[in-house]
Amino acid sequence: MALFNRHGLKGTFNLNYGMMHGGGGWKNGSVSIERLQAEEIAPLYAGHEVAAHGLTHPHLEQLPQPVLRQELLSDRLGLESLVGYPVRGFAYPFGSYSPAVLEMLAACGFAYARTVGATHRFSLPEKPLEWDSTCHHDHNLMENAKKFLDRHAAGDPSLFYVWGHSYEFDVKNNWDHMEAFCDLIAGKDDVWYATNMEILDYQLAVRGLQYSVDGSLIRNPSAQDVWVSVEGEAVRVAGGETVRL
């Protein structure tokens, strides 16, 4: 977290509430991985997003419906008691899911869910409950970062989304890889560094804009400020306001 905070980056962190009590951890080869405890969560992730990952990290598609519901809701409930805001994001344990899992996620109030898929593209999610990233942090990270910055410099709307497990840096002893990435990508005045939920909420606000027939008026019924491009210029449409172009 110190690395992200130092560079002004935002992250979304998926946690298993049912696995953060009583201490313990596991070993990956010769590396010992310690689990975070409940009292550490709120101060550690302040300014970022905490999202769910299943109460006990099971293969969700293998669970009976009542157990699946309990896994999802209990994780949300526990994490919300720690962070003090609605937990609306999710990441699939083991990357596995099914149509029944998608239905249950929506029924349990989740707005999005990240997969383990990587597109190596820079597009916004078309199916938020099946949200693929651009890449894993150990798979062509720097190459994709440079491509993203080139696209951004050319004025192309782009989203660069990296996923991974923090313990992997200890296992592979490659924290310097993430340091180099942060040095490259951070500090751009015209790049928005955001959590998953911030991105999705903004996307929903843009989709909710209301236009007059002749296109001269735009009303923003949401509380979220948004920007639209008008003849190559960025125009702010504040929450609750109508703008004449």
Domain ranges within the chain, ordered by starting residue: 2-201, 210-244
What average pLDDT does this structure show over 70-76?
98
> Which stretch of 21-30, 79-88, 156-165 has the lowest confidence by average pLDDT?
21-30
pLDDT band at 27 (very low <50, low <70, confident <90, very high): low
Answer whether residue 29 shows pLDDT above 90.
no
pLDDT band at 154 (very low <50, low <70, confident <90, very high): confident
Length of the chain: 245
Neighbours of 96 (CB within 10 A): 14
Tokens representing 75?
């994780």
Q: What percent of the chain has pLDDT over 90?
A: 79
CATH says 2-201 is which class? alpha beta
Q: What pTM did the predictor assign?
A: 0.92
pLDDT band at 24 (very low <50, low <70, confident <90, very high): low
Q: Which residues of 169-205 are buried (b: 16+ CB within 10 A; e: fewer)?
A: beeeeeeeebeebbeebeeeeeeeebbbbebbbbbeb
Non-local CB neighbours of 153 within 8 Å, separated by 6+ positions: none
pLDDT band at 229 (very low <50, low <70, confident <90, very high): confident
5-11: which pairs have CB atoms within 8 A and are 24 or more residues apart?
A: 5/47, 6/182, 7/182, 7/183, 7/186, 7/187, 8/186, 8/187, 8/193, 9/182, 9/185, 9/186, 9/193, 10/47, 10/48, 10/49, 10/193, 10/194, 10/195, 10/198, 11/48, 11/49, 11/195
